[in-house]
Amino acid sequence: MAKQAVKRSRRKLKQNLIGWGFILPSLIVFFLFMFLPIVLGFWYSLTDYTGLSKDYQFIGLQNYIKMFSDRYFKVSIKNNCIYAVWFSVLTMLVSLILASLLNRLMRFRKFFRIAFFLPYISSMVSVAVIWKMIFNPQGGPLNTILEQIGISNPPQWLASTTWALYAVIIVSVWKNCGYYMMIFLAGLQNVPDSLYEAAALDGAGRLQQYFKITLPLISPTIFLNLILVTINSFQVFDLVSVMTDGGPGMSTNVLAYRIYYEGFKSMHMGYASAIAYFLFAVILVITIFQFVAQKYWVNYD
């Protein structure tokens, strides 16, 4: 008996050693580049760390308090909220419409799939560079087209403090809608045809079928996309950095840009870390809220 127990515990020890051996490389990199930074970042956010000098002090919640009297931070929140609302709503709508159209196609499916997915797979920097030129108010193709169709005074886009943020939103929706479209498409393809046939027999029109059958049935997919799109809307950086550098003025300053600027340009790494944790909290709260709210509208059967 005892011999068997020893044997068993020895086998267990061996299993543990091998198991931990296999995850050891991942443990090292996760510890160094994930867990440690998560803790360290929070610590920085409670200090006046500049990033340059070695001595810095614990200042409690002062960075967090300072945020709410910082004009630049407040503007970046406002911009980011405007961006998030427009980006989320438009991306959801456009990608759902595209997916619904694509789902009805019989031919050229592959061509359309490639065309709509192309912007998503391209790098943010390259599409930002292209769009920067398309938006050029003096002779850029967009305003040329707008003038041709009779808009005599088209917006100045990236040169205008009112329009720059919307220009970024347009590019963002164009760039990302293909991805969400693909997820919607997968959801739509799971809706059984028999349901539509039954509804058609009952005399339901196309539009009625769409709102009464399709949308409720794909509500889990809508929920998934909504979560992803809102999380992403608080992480916009590359586009802003390449297209506008946060300007003109402060008009396209968003949270991630603020973190970058305070941390690596102004060398206020403690303060930047506080904003970074604020960003994390915002994303967390919104996600939790959406998970609570889904009970009332997502249909899982």
Partner 1 sequence: MKKAKSILFYALMFLLSFAMIFPFLWMISTSLKYDSQVFTTPIEWIPDPVNLSNYVKVWTEEPFLIFYKNTAFVAVFATAGQVIISAMAAYAFAKMKFTGKNVVFGLYLATMMVPWHTIMIPQYQIISKLHLTDTHLALILGQLASAFGIFLLRQFFMTVPDELVEAARIDGAGEGRTFAQIMLPQAKPALATLIIFTFIQVWNDYMAPLIYLNTKEKYTIQLGLKFFQSEHTMQYTIIMAGTVCALIPILIIFLVFEKQITNGMVHSGLKG
Residues 144-183 that bind partner 1 (CB under 8 A): 144, 148, 174, 178-179, 182-183
Q: Which of residues 185-224 bind partner 1 (CB under 8 A)?
A: 185-186, 224
Using CB under 8 A as the binding rule, whether residue 73 contacts partner 1 is answered as no
Q: Which stretch binds partner 1 (CB under 8 A): 154-162, 212-220, 279-287, 293-301?
A: 279-287
* # residues near partner 1 by CB under 8 A: 92
Using CB under 8 A as the binding rule, whether residue 104 contacts partner 1 is answered as yes
Q: Which of 1, 2, 5, 29 binds partner 1 (CB under 8 A)?
A: 29
Q: Which stretch binds partner 1 (CB under 8 A): 56-64, 79-87, 209-217, 272-280?
A: 272-280
Tell the smallest beta-carbon distance from residue 30 to partner 1 (Å).
Answer: 5
Q: Which of 101, 151, 198, 293 binds partner 1 (CB under 8 A)?
A: 101
Pick between residue 164 and residue 182 the one whose CB is nearest to partner 1: 182
Using CB under 8 A as the binding rule, whether residue 283 contacts partner 1 is answered as yes
Write the DSSP assignment of the chain as a string of letters: -HHHHHHHHHHHHHHHHHHHHHHHHHHHHHIIIIIHHHHHHHHHHTB---SS-S---B-TTHHHHHHTT-HHHHHHHHHHHHHHHHHHHHHHHHHHHHHHHHHH--SSHHHHHHHHHHHHHS-HHHHHHHHHHHT-TTT-HHHHHHHHTT-SS---GGG-TTTHHHHHHHHHHHHHHHHHHHHHHHHHHTS-HHHHHHHHHTT--HHHHIIIIIHHHTHHHHHHHHHHHHHHHT---HHHHHHTTT-STTTT--HHHHHHIIIIIS--HHHHHHHHHHHHHHHHHHHHHHHHHGGGT----
